[in-house]
Amino acid sequence: MSDNKIIECMERADYILGTLMAVKPGEEVLIVTDAQTDERMSNAMAAAALKLGADYTVAMTPSRQQDKATIFPKMIEKAMEGCDVFIGMTKASGVAIYNNRLKELLNEKVFRECSIVLRDVENFTQGGALADYEALYEEGKKLQEIWRGKKMAHVTTPAGTDLHMEMNQMEPIIECGVAKNPGDAMAWSDGEVSLGPVVGTTHGTLIMDGPMAYYGAPTEPVELKIEGGKIVEVVGGDPKICRQIQKTLDEIKDSDNIAEIGIGLNPMSMFNGDFEEEKKARGTCHIAMGNGFYYGQPAMSTVHIDMVMYNPTVTFDGEVIVEHGKVVALGDK
298 falls in which pLDDT band (50, 70, 90)? confident
Across 134-143, 238-247, 295-304, 309-318, least confident range: 295-304
Q: What percent of the chain has pLDDT over 90?
A: 82
- Rounded CA separation 319/153 (Å): 9
- Nearest-CA neighbor of 254 among 203, 289, 223? 289
Instruction: Show Cβ contacts of residue 151 under 8 Å, excluding neighbours closer than 6 positions.
Output: 166, 167, 317
Res 263 pLDDT > 90:
yes
Strands 162-166 and 203-208 come out as antiparallel
Helical (H) or strand (E) element with 112: strand 112-115
Q: Specify burial of residue 49 (Cβ count, 10 A radius: 0-12, 13-18, 19+).
A: buried
pTM exceeds 0.85 for this model:
yes
Category of 204 on φ-ψ map: left (φ > 0), alpha (ψ -120 to 50) or beta: left
Residue type, 230: K
Query: Quick one: average pLDDT of 185-194?
Result: 92
Q: How many CB atoms lie within 10 A of CB 277?
A: 26
* Domain annotation for the chain: domains and CATH numbers: 4-125 (3.40.1830.10), 149-173+190-330 (no CATH)
- Rounded CA separation 128/183 (Å): 24
276 falls in which pLDDT band (50, 70, 90)? low
Cis, peptide link before residue 269, omega less than 30° from 0: no
Res 23 pLDDT > 60:
yes
Cβ(217)–Cβ(210) below 8 Å: yes
Q: What is the pLDDT of residue 273?
A: 65
- Rounded CA separation 245/114 (Å): 28
Q: Specify burial of residue 175 (Cβ count, 10 A radius: 0-12, 13-18, 19+).
A: buried
pLDDT, greater one: 166 or 1: 166
Cβ(40)–Cβ(3) below 8 Å: yes
Instruction: Show Cβ contacts of residue 82 under 8 Å, excluding neighbours closer than 6 positions.
Output: 28, 30
Q: What is the pLDDT of residue 106?
A: 95
- Rounded CA separation 95/76 (Å): 11
125 falls in which pLDDT band (50, 70, 90)? very high
Which SS3 state, helix, strand or coil, does residue 226 take? Answer: strand
- Nearest-CA neighbor of 49 among 23, 79, 75? 23
For residue range 58-100, list pLDDT tens digits in order: 999 999 988 888 999 999 999 999 999 999 999 999 898 889 9
For residue range 50-59, list pLDDT tens digits in order: 999 999 999 9
